[in-house]
Amino acid sequence: MKLIKYTGLAVLLAGSAFTAQNAMAVEISANAGVASAYLWRGQNLSNGSAAISADVTASQNGAYATMWTSSGDDAAGQEYDLIVGYGGEAGKVSYDVSAVTYIYPQDNTDFGDLSDLVVSVGYGPATLTHYDNIAGGSGTGYTTLSGDVGKVTALVGVTNGQDNANYSHLDVTYNYNDRLSFTASKVVDKDDDAMDDSTNVVAAYSLPLK
């Protein structure tokens, strides 16, 4: 029911913007990318193998719908993310609300497909984002605080809500240009002593297709 409620809210927000009386034409953008590993919330999901990804987005007046896919997850296989959301600015404050569903057609793990409600607020170079697991997962939340200084982005991520599996990580990314970036990521605190806390270094390259 929470998934239906929050997904419906995101669809309603998107739909209202798409059908506004003075709406502009829908914009379509697409990208393809490759990374030396699939880094997700401070964890290397590809065991060091490369990840290929692609996305396509339709947007209008702040509303957007995106499909993203990646080959990088060693355990769950090919991943498809479906996203609907709405974002904008109020003075110096930026905001974004979206619903994300993660789909794994060949999933060999026990967690299956899942969905998050994502709320993000930014002010200047700082952005606070919270992911609330609303369906298909263990109920674990995830919160990040990130900030930009020149070409460098620092991000602290913290999981919360699942017993004995909480951890936090620090990512530092150097954006060489709009397409090429390098990220160093390390778990800095963890409940599970067996969790890998080695430093992951990932190079990523993206290419706009439209």
- Residue 75: pLDDT above 70? yes
Q: Give the pLDDT mean for 138-161.
A: 92
In the predicted structure, residue 22 carries a pLDDT above the cut 50: no
Distance CA 18, CA 12 (A): 10
DSSP secondary structure letter of residue 126: E
Which of these, 204, 202, 198, 6, lies nearest to 101 by C-alpha position?
6
| pLDDT 10s digits, 180-191 | 999 999 999 988
Phi, psi of 27, rounded to the nearest 5 degrees: -100, 135
DSSP secondary-structure letter at 179? S
**165 or 90, higher pLDDT:** 90
User: What's the rounded Cα separation, in Å, for the pair 116 and 98?
Assistant: 8
Cα–Cα distance, 69 to 38 (Å, whole number) = 12
pLDDT in the model for residue 164: 62
Q: What pLDDT sits at residue 21?
A: 41
pLDDT at 5: 44
